Amino acid sequence: MPESLRKTFQALSGKEDRNISEVVTEVVEGYVQKHDPDYKVKSPIAI
C-alpha cells in the first residue's frame, strides 16, 4: 500500500476514534457478506 494512502487512512480512522484494524475488518466483512450470502459474521477476536 502506498505510504500516502496508509497515512491518510490512519488519520481518517483516527478521527473516528477507530484503529486501522477495525476499519479494515469492517470493509472486508462487508465485501465478503456482499459476495457470499451464506457467510455469517463471527464474534470479534479479542486482541
Residue 45 within a domain: no
Residue 42 within a domain: no
Predicted local distance difference test score (pLDDT) of residue 40: 80
Domain that holds residue 19: 3-35
36: which DSSP letter?
A: -
Predicted local distance difference test score (pLDDT) of residue 25: 92
Query: Number of folded domains in the chain?
Result: 1
Predicted local distance difference test score (pLDDT) of residue 9: 96
- What confidence tens digit (pLDDT) does each residue in 16-40 have? 999 999 999 999 989 998 999 888 8
- Banded model confidence at residue 44, pLDDT cuts 50, 70, 90: low
What is the Cα–Cα distance from 41 to 44, expressed in whole angstroms?
A: 9
Is the pTM higher than 0.85?
no
